[in-house]
Structure 1
Amino acid sequence: MAADHFADRLVARIEATRSLLVVGLDPELRQLPPELLDGVEDLAGAAAAAARFCRAVIDGVAGVAPAVKPQSAFFEAFGAAGLHALEEVTAHARAAGLLVVEDSKRGDIGSTMAAYATAALGRLQIGERELPVHDSDAVTLSPYLGPESLQPMLDAADAYGKGLFVLVRTSNPGSARVQGLETPDGRVFEQVAKLIDELGAERRGACGYSNVGAVAGLTYPDDARVLRALMPHTFLLVPGLGAQGGAPDDFPLFVNDDGARRRRRRLARGRRRLENARGRGRCRSDGRRADPRRRARRRERADRRAARAARARRPLALVARAAALARTRRCGAPVAATAPARASAARSSRRAGGGPSRS
């Protein structure tokens, strides 16, 4: 197991940013700001515009969110130039202190999966040198070819301190036709959840969490408690907020009861910090008394974030639109800014004390 464990790094970023937001980067060409497309005439120009847009979003949310999630398909649509743009965006995000979850949902036989693992997480051996390719911090995977298909990714994650998020209960409406099928040992997604817990049992970091996470859609809140019980040491990546119909009030269902109250406070703070990043003013009070020095420090941080957002200008308008799409209500759950307008939140399941349960 690599000393630099993914789960430990994720906990550290959550604590540093006081946020659970994951910012989706889905640079669909027709939704990019028009000024970025001036003079674009070929795939290389389109890929460069997408990369510029994503860099602006990253600059706006650095220090506000612990991670970003580039959807590889939107980059692959630009051809070879798009793959270069994905690597550029990944490097820019990591340099800004963000973890990068490559959303590619890979799943294939062993030899092919080994190549996917090299591209997303590992190193390519060239002579005596080992060179990173995409160098993401984590990748999303499909488990439906069986556990042996995951092994190359597990090996790469262990060797290089990376993480995995395996599809369990996805947010799309048709997922229930496969994932919800009943078997003698429970529904299909429950069997996948048990597999993830089993694979993660010997892959926990110092924080107590595994480097094998799960994707669990916010659109199926009735299954949240089952998933939590089956995967007590697993981070959850929770998509489906906003356009897909997921409700902010359902977020607390995806955490353990003993951490829900702390999570709601942390998620509400994350939403306010995101609003600040898009240039809407200083953070509002969270209801707790603060001494003048703390308020002054908060104002200074807010001013720095507002300045970053002002430099980003037009691209962050789409982030603002995504945030407004899922404005929180009763429980103060977060909005995950996306480009163009998708949302997800990283969740953990640790019980009382430490890490994301404090968040």
Structure 2
Amino acid sequence: MIIDRLYENVREKGFVCVGLDTNLDYIPSSIKEKSSDIAEIVFEYNKQIIDCTEDITGIYKVQIAYYEAMGLEGMKAYSKTVSYLKEKNLLSIGDVKRGDIANTAKEYGKAHFSGDFEVDFITINPYMGFDSITPYLDFVEKGDKGIFVLLRTSNPGAKDIEYLDYKGEPLYYHIGDAIYEMGNSYLGENNYSNIGFVVGGTHSEEAKEIRERYKNSFFLIPGYGAQGGKAEDIRLYLDDFNGGVVNSSRGIITAYKKHEDGEKKFQEYTREAVEKMRGDIYGR
């Protein structure tokens, strides 16, 4: 099961998820100067980040919006990046947040679980209804692919919909309970499901209840660092520092910009950012 691979990765390498939210403005001039090919420039930047962090990173998340914004060249870079991760036997999340139904959803599944854009996990938006989840179950059932479903996100606007009252509880619990029940049909050896949740790490009030309520769900936890998620809050969503991966994007991939010699030591400062994040959350 793919979730067992992720569990073991976290056990061996830690819970950090490096977000490859790549923008051309983030890339060191030393990389840009070597080529005029946008796809090659973006891929080389991602490749260097991957190469210097692979032994201390549980999984990589590639946010497709940044690549779509660069057009065909960006999507070439996306494809090259996820293919490179696969070649190195590293795990990947395609952060695509699909939320459609029926045959359309099946085609999204085919697009991101095979072919040029193949990844190990994708993110799904359930707010069109539970039939926006079921088309992916054929892929999940095979065991080698997984999904992370938006549960309670880290943005301020989450309160507009996710927190609406439903029978005395926030709406996200109604959604979570139904998907959790679905997920219990796809448990791995470590008792986590191939269907996990995206749970923003910026709200600590509900953290213990969410972790306890969804014991068999693996969490993708955004919000650390730039969005205000603190280490002590993040720990509440983890189970003995497993059961979830904690994403950081700009805090890692642009860390070199904080240093005068950052261009020369791009990989060194990138790795250092991952190590600092691990130490912060571990409490070391």
Bucket of the pairwise TM-score, normalised by the shorter protein? 0.7 to 0.9
Structure 2 CA distance for partners of 1:326 and 1:206, relative to 1, 3 Å: closer
Q: CA deviation at 1:25?
A: 0.5
Alignment correspondent of 2:282: 332
Give the alignment partner of residue 178 of structure 2, picking from 192, 195, 198. Answer: 195
Report the counterpart of residue 12 of structure 2 in structure 1: 16
Measure how far apart 1:326 and its partner are. 5.5
Q: Which amino acid aligns with 2:54?
A: A
- Structure 2 equivalent of residue 65 of structure 1: 57
> In 2, are the aligned partners of 1:72 and 1:104 still within 8 Å (CA)?
yes
Post-superposition offset of 1:158 = 1.8
Q: Which amino acid aligns with 1:30?
A: D
| Structure 1: runs of 5 or more not aligned | 123-131, 268-274, 279-311, 335-359
Q: Secondary structure at the match of 2:133?
A: helix
Paired with 1:67 and 1:190, the residues of 2 have a C-alpha distance of 27
Give ranges in structure 2 of 5+ residues lacking alignment: 246-251, 256-262
**Runs of 4+ with deviation above 3 angstroms:** 312-315, 320-329, 331-334
Partner amino acid for 2:64? S
Distance in 2 between residues matched to 1:314 and 1:151, nearest whole Å: 46
Does the 8 Å CA contact 2:68/2:75 hold for their aligned counterparts?
A: yes
Question: Could you tell me how far apart the structure 2 residues matched to 1:333 and 1:177 are?
Answer: 34
Q: CA RMSD in A?
A: 2.7
* Aligned partner of 2:31 among 4, 22, 36: 36
Q: Shift of residue 244 of structure 1?
A: 0.5
Q: Does residue 319 in structure 1 map to residue 270 in structure 2? A: yes
Query: CA shift at 1:252, angstroms?
Result: 2.1
C-alpha distance in 1 between matches for 2:276 and 2:145: 32
Deviation at 1:49, TM superposition (A): 1.0
Distance 2:74 2:238 in 1: 36
Q: In the TM superposition, what are the counterparts of 1:227-246 in structure 2 within 5 Å?
A: 227-246=210-229
Does the aligned pair in 1 maintain the 2:187–2:193 contact within 8 Å?
yes
Out of 251, 261, 273, the residue aligned to residue 234 of structure 2 is 251
* CA distance in 2 between partners of 1:26 and 1:235 (Å): 22
1:303 aligned partner: none
Paired residue for 1:92, among 84, 88, 91?
84
1:159 to 142, 160, 172: 142
Work out whether residues 163 and 211 of structure 1, in 8 Å CA contact, stay in contact via their aligned partners in 2: yes
Counterpart contact for 2:53–2:271, Cα < 8 Å: no
- Cα distance in 1, alignment partners of residues 237 and 136 from structure 2: 26
- How many residues end up aligned between the 2 structures? 268
5 Å-filtered alignment, 1:120-199, equals 120-122=112-114, 132-159=115-142, 161-199=144-182
Give the whole-Å Cα distance in 2 for the aligned partners of 1:318 and 1:50.
Answer: 18
Name the CA distance, whole Å, in 2 between partners of 1:201 and 1:154. 12
- Please tell me the residue identity of whatever aligns with 1:38: E
Task: State the alpha-carbon separation in 1 of the partners of residues 227 and 49 from structure 2.
Answer: 22
1:113 aligned to 105, 109, 125, which one?
105
Report if aligned partners of 2:101, 2:135 keep a CA contact under 8 Å in 1.
no
Superposed CA offset, 1:49-92 (max 9, x none): 11110011010111211211111111111212222211211121
Q: 2: CA distance between counterparts of 1:313 and 1:112?
A: 46
| SS of 2:158 mapped into structure 1 | helix
Residues in 2 aligned to 1:105 and 1:208: alpha-carbon distance in whole angstroms: 25
Q: Which amino acid aligns with 1:14?
A: V
Give the distance between the partners of 2:102 and 2:283, measured in 1 at CA: 39
Structure 1 residue corresponding to 2:195, chosen from 194, 202, 212: 212
Q: Which of these two proteins has the greater Rg computed from alpha carbons?
A: 1
Q: Percent identity?
A: 29
Cα separation, partners in 2 of 1:314 and 1:88, compared to 1, 3 Å: farther
TM-aligned CA deviation for residue 38 of structure 1: 2.6
- Alignment TM-score, normalising by the size of structure 2: 0.85
Cα distance per residue 1:224-251 (max 9 Å; x no partner): 1221122110001111111101111112
Paired AA for residue 138 in structure 1: F
Do 1:53 and 1:315's aligned partners in 2 also have CA atoms closer than 8 Å? no
* Cα shift at 1:16: 3.1
**Does 53-62 or 8-17 show the bigger shift?**
8-17
Name 1:348's counterpart in structure 2. Answer: none
- In 2: Cα distance, 1:327 partner to 1:246 partner: 14
Q: 1:350: which partner in 2?
A: none
Quote the Cα distance in structure 2 between the aligned partners of 1:242 and 1:325: 11
Q: Residue 77 and residue 16 in structure 1: after superposition, are their counterparts in 2 closer, same or farther (change >3 A)? A: same
Give 1:15 deviation, angstroms: 2.9
- Cα distance in 2 for residues equivalent to 1:109 and 1:200: 18
